[in-house]
């Protein structure tokens, strides 16, 4: 087996992922857990990181490159923000070094859009963008990165011109758990991108974004008057929020941009289906691959072989 | 004192209001409590009603007219729905009589819009409309009834042609309590309709409804990047949801409708201010007066003196 060259960590709010990368660039070990920032502020970032490194028998002085919420204020060590317009090539130069560590640990910064009208921030997605940019080439790209807080990024020739966050995933979560719509989707299983209620809701919300919070209520009234099933209720809630997000993203996009979807797993399938029903044919890049490639690009730049 | 003629009850999801009305039509006693449907399904509708009637020394055989959630399925006794297009004059004829009661108790029905695309329901607001209609006269009216589930009603010559429910109040509640935005508005007090963050958010959401869930995120990013205060954060959340609601209501309104606001208290002031910032000058009718007048009209029809 090739010797370890560095470890790469994507530290999200509720998830932790670590890859041990060999001298030849191959992944030679991987760890995943739910010890995101929320857990780490209680139990210690260093403790959690060292436990996972030890489990992979990583050498004591192996350097570590980190992106994501570990760099937030009041997290491990503040890594600040790079302001838009931000060349992706500037990210690694703004990395911070964790003080008091027994190894070389760098945390990549986030991006900030300091506009008075449209303030916005990201942490972690900039590293995915860095990894995805190689596959995209120059030109105008509109990059969709769905999730708890979906990001839509306007990327031109390797420069992030601006971006917008939509609270889609979190709104789905709080509405499905805490609102009157919860009772319409009790025990609903998972639905796929081919679900008709999902696709109809996407199309309707994209065409009539102003009616979004009315469309949400039809989850309840549809249950009362048309016996809407729990699965269709859940699909309609999801489709409404995703359709509204896409309407917003397209309304602020530069004409002629090519759409790219950076996502993994079921969310990738759902967004691909939603975009397709609106006649958009995105280039698809796996989000896990993208973040790993972005971290690798940063590591190569920090620690050339 | 004039003798009691009937009692009128507005029984909401979380509120109970009762008026004792004299033979001359004056209110001679009033009770308010938090014993809405949610409480009443546990403790009994009849028990709660009789306790309040006894507190006002109401005669044993005094008839009672009720509107609101007491008539919902699985509440006290199902009062069904009148389907749109629904003449307001038809409401009282569809009232149900509570079985097994020692007095004459009638519950007014709700309204249902059974459209496949736009199913909708209301319970209680139809009685407010009945009470408000007298002040409105004929012609086309767009009636805004803000609340947990805001209703916008298209009323023509006393007929409810259709209506749309927006989840504004409930979304404000679940987002401010359960989402990441909660931490941006910790300990925020009450804001008024003159608050600039509120008015700016109303105008922005009304102009750019597709960007609504992005505008919500700026409550968080505005706190991070521009030190948005807790009060302004709360005002921006509220203004975004109300602006989105108004955009939707106007998009589906009949041209030339006159706008009427049926509301009470702080919510009336907030919506009046929001509508005014969008150059709308609504006729304002107090919601408490409207429901009392609607119940009185039903009582006069059921039990003519």
ipTM score here?
0.94
* Cβ atoms B295, B67 nearer than 8 A: yes
Q: Touching check for A78 and chain B: CB below 8 Å?
A: no
Q: DSSP letter at B98?
A: P
Mean pLDDT within B252-272: 92
Q: Touching check for B247 and chain A: CB below 8 Å?
A: yes
What average pLDDT does chain B have? 96
Give whole-number Cα distances, A298 to A78, A88, A91, B190, in Å. 18, 11, 8, 47
* Cβ atoms A288, A295 nearer than 8 A: no
Mean pLDDT within B29-38: 96
User: Burial of A183 by CB count in 10 Å (0-12 exposed, 13-18 middle, 19+ buried)?
Assistant: exposed
**Superfamily designation of domain A4-123:** 2-keto-3-deoxy-galactonokinase, substrate binding domain (3.30.420.300)
pLDDT > 90: percent of chain A = 92
Q: For position A2, what pLDDT does the model report? A: 84
Tell me how close the Cα of A247 comes to any Cα of chain B, in angstroms. 6
Asked if the model's pLDDT at residue A253 lies above 90, the reply is no
Candidates A215, A204, A199, A208; CA nearest to A272 is: A199
Mean pLDDT within B16-21: 97
Q: For position A27, what pLDDT does the model report? A: 96
Candidates B86, B252, B250; CA nearest to B156 is: B86
Tell me how close the Cα of A200 comes to any Cα of chain B, in angstroms. 10
Q: Touching check for B241 and chain A: CB below 8 Å?
A: yes
Residue A166: closest CA among chain B residues belongs to which residue?
A: B214
Domain spans in chain A, listed from the N-terminal domain onward: 4-123, 166-285
Residue A73: closest CA among chain B residues belongs to which residue?
A: B224
Q: How many residues make up chain B in this entry?
A: 305
Quickly list DSSP for A118-137.
S-EEESSHHHHHHHHHHHH-
- pLDDT tens for A50-86 read 999 999 999 999 999 999 999 999 999 999 999 999 9
Q: For position B137, what pLDDT does the model report? A: 83
What pTM, to 2 d.p., does this model score?
0.95
Q: For position A100, what pLDDT does the model report? A: 83
* Cβ atoms A41, A75 nearer than 8 A: yes
Tell me how close the Cα of A235 comes to any Cα of chain B, in angstroms. 15
Q: Pick B170's closest partner by Cβ from A180, A222, A241.
A: A180
- For testing contact with chain B, the best of A149, A150, A214 (most B CBs within 10 A): A214
- For testing contact with chain A, the best of B123, B146, B149, B210 (most A CBs within 10 A): B210
Mean pLDDT within A109-124: 96
Residue numbers in B near A252 (CB within 8 A): 211
Mean pLDDT within B241-267: 93
Asked if the model's pLDDT at residue B305 lies above 80, the reply is no
Residue numbers in A near B208 (CB within 8 A): 248, 251
Residue numbers in A near B118 (CB within 8 A): 214, 218
Q: For position B228, what pLDDT does the model report? A: 96
Candidates A258, A252, A249; CA nearest to A140 is: A258
DSSP H or E run through B232:
helix B230-251
Q: Contact B119/A252, CB-based, under 8 Å? A: no
Q: For position B101, what pLDDT does the model report? A: 86
Q: For position A1, what pLDDT does the model report? A: 66
Give whole-number Cα distances, B199 to A231, B143, B241, in Å. 38, 21, 12
Residue numbers in A near B252 (CB within 8 A): 211
- CA atoms of B267 and B273, how far apart (whole Å): 10
Q: Contact B175/A177, CB-based, under 8 Å? A: no
Secondary structure of B111-177 in HEC code, one letter for each residue: EEECCCCCCEEECCHHHHHHHHHHHHCCCEEEEEECCCCEEEEEEECCEEEEEEEECHHHHHHHHHH
- CA atoms of A45 and A74, how far apart (whole Å): 12
Q: For position A7, what pLDDT does the model report? A: 98
Q: Pick B210's closest partner by Cβ from A218, A224, A247.
A: A247
**Superfamily designation of domain B166-285:** 2-keto-3-deoxy-galactonokinase, C-terminal domain (3.30.420.310)
Fold match flag (A4-123 vs A166-285): yes
pLDDT > 70: percent of chain A = 100
Mean pLDDT within A85-108: 96
- For testing contact with chain A, the best of B221, B232, B238, B250 (most A CBs within 10 A): B221
- pLDDT tens for B268-282 read 999 999 999 999 999
Q: For position A257, what pLDDT does the model report? A: 83
Asked if the model's pLDDT at residue B7 lies above 70, the reply is yes
Give whole-number Cα distances, A240 to A8, A219, B190, in Å. 36, 10, 31
Tell me how close the Cα of A122 comes to any Cα of chain B, in angstroms. 10
Q: Touching check for B244 and chain A: CB below 8 Å?
A: yes
* Cβ atoms B113, B121 nearer than 8 A: yes
Residue numbers in A near B178 (CB within 8 A): 174, 177-178
Tell me how close the Cα of B247 comes to any Cα of chain A, in angstroms. 6
Q: How many interchain CB pairs under 8 A, A with B? A: 134
Q: Touching check for B120 and chain A: CB below 8 Å?
A: yes
Q: Contact B120/A247, CB-based, under 8 Å? A: no
Candidates B30, B6, B35, B3; CA nearest to B19 is: B30
Q: For position B2, what pLDDT does the model report? A: 84
Q: Touching check for A225 and chain B: CB below 8 Å?
A: yes
* Cβ atoms A163, B211 nearer than 8 A: no
Quickly list DSSP for A173-203.
HHHHHHSGGGGGGTT-----TT-HHHHHHHH
- pLDDT tens for A131-149 read 999 888 888 999 999 999 9
B255 confidence band (pLDDT: 50, 70, 90) = confident
Rounded to an integer, what is the distance from CA A83 to the centroid of its chain?
19
Asked if the model's pLDDT at residue B167 lies above 90, the reply is yes
B window 138-177, beta carbon within 8 A of A: 149, 164-168, 170-171, 174-175, 177
- For testing contact with chain B, the best of A69, A175, A213 (most B CBs within 10 A): A213
Asked if the model's pLDDT at residue B1 lies above 70, the reply is no
- pLDDT tens for B94-105 read 999 999 888 999
Residue numbers in A near B210 (CB within 8 A): 209, 244, 247-248, 250-251
């Amino acid at each position: 087996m090739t010797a370890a060259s560095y470890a790469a960590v994507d530290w999200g709010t509720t998830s932790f992922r670590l890859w041990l990368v060999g001298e030849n660039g191959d992944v030679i070990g991987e760890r995943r857990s739910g010890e995101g920032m929320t857990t780490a502020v209680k139990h210690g970032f260093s403790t959690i990181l060292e436990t996972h490194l030890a489990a992979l028998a990583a050498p004591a002085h192996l350097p570590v490159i980190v992106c994501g919420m570990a760099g937030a204020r009041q997290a491990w060590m503040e890594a600040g923000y790079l302001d838009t317009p931000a060349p992706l090539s500037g990210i690694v130069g703004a990395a911070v070094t964790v003080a008091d560590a027994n190894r070389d640990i760098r945390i990549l910064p986030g991006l900030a859009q300091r506009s008075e009208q449209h303030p916005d921030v990201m942490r972690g997605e900039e590293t995915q963008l860095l990894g995805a940019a190689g596959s995209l080439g120059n030109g105008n790209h509109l990059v969709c990165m769905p999730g708890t807080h979906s990001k839509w990024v306007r990327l031109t020739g390797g420069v992030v011109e601006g971006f917008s966050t939509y609270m889609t995933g979190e709104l789905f979560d709080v509405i499905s758990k805490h609102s009157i719509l919860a009772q319409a989707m009790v025990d609903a299983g998972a639905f796929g991108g081919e679900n008709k209620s999902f696709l109809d809701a996407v199309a309707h919300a994209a065409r009539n974004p102003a009616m979004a919070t009315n469309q949400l209520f039809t989850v309840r009234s549809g249950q009362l008057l048309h016996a809407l099933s729990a699965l269709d209720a859940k699909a309609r809630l999801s489709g409404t929020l995703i359709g509204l997000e896409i309407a917003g993203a397209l309304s602020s996009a530069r004409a002629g941009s090519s759409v790219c979807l950076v996502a993994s797993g079921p969310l990738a399938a759902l967004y691909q289906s939603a975009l397709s029903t609106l006649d958009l044919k995105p280039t698809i890049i796996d989000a896990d691959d993208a973040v790993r490639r972005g971290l690798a690009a940063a590591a190569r730049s920090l620690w050339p072989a």
